[in-house]
Structure 1
Amino acid sequence: MVAIVAAGPFVLAFLLAAAAPGLLEPVLGTPLGGLSWLLATLLGITGGALFARILAALQRPRIQASATLRLVGTVGGAGMVVGLCIVPAVALLLAGPTLAMHLGREPLPAPHALRSLRGSAVELLGQARRAFPHRLPLSQLLPPGPR
C-alpha cells in the first residue's frame, strides 16, 4: 500500500507521457518542466514515507483494540497524505509542462496585411458562387464591379 502511494505520481508521469507524447518536450526540454516532475516524484516518495509512519503508529495495542480508532486513523492518515503530498504532486505533474510551454512560447508576429471582414465575406461568397452557381444565386449580394 505504501509503495502504491509512493509510486503514484511517478506512474502517473509515465502514463501522461504515454498518453500525450507532446508533454515530454516541455518536461525534458526545459528546466522548469523537469523540475516540476522531479518535485512531484519526491512528493510521492515523501507521501509514501509519511503513510508508512502513520501505519506504523496505528499498530499500537491501544489503537488495535478499537476498530473505530483503526478506521479513523487509517482514513485520517490516508487523507492527510493525499492532501499534503499526492494532490500537490499531481498538480505539479500537470502544471509544470503547461507553465514551461506558456513561458517558452514566443509571441506570434502580427500579420502584415489584414483584410476587412467585408472583403473576406465578399471573397467567400464569390468562391461559393463559382463552386455552386446553380444552387447559390448570389449575384445580388456581390458588390458591383468586375466579377
Structure 2
Amino acid sequence: MAYWLMKTEPDEFSIDSLAKVGREPWSGVRNYQARNYMMKDMKVGDGILFYHSSTAIPGVAGLAKVACEAYPDPTQFDRKSDYFDAASPRDNPRWWLVDVAFERKFGRVVTLDEIKARADKLGDFALLRKGNRLSVLPVTAAQWKQILSLE
C-alpha cells in the first residue's frame, strides 16, 4: 500500500463534498508529474491525505482512498470544460485520473503550520519543499503516521 496527499481548494471541492458523494473522479489535473502519479503509481486502496489549500488555514482535513485504477479524464474532451484540451486525442489521451473515495473527516484540520513544525520528523516531505505546487504528492508510511499523530 502507498500513501498520497491530494490538494483541493475547499470552495471548489472539500472533504465535506467528498463525504456527501462518497466517491469522486479527481479530474482537472493538468500537470504531468501529478498525472503520472495517478496514471502509473496509484493503486486501488492506497491512502490519501485530503488537503485543503488556498484557504485561510490550509491543512489536512481528512482521509480518502484510491477507489479505482487510472482512466482517461473525460474533461479533456469536453469543449465546455475549463479543463478541455484540444491537443489530447481520444485514442491517445494526455490526461488521466483516479476516483477517490471518502474514508473520514478529521475532527479538526491538521494545519500546514503544524506540519511545518514537524519538518524534522517528516524528512524530505514533498509538501514542504520550496516552490512545490503539485496537487498530488507521494507520502511515505512514516510521514503518514506522523501526520495522523497530529490529529
Which of the two has higher C-alpha Rg?
1
Q: Per the shorter chain, which TM-score range?
A: under 0.3
- Pick 1 or 2: higher relative contact order, CA cutoff 8 A, min separation 6: 2
What's the TM-score once normalised by structure 1's chain length?
A: 0.22
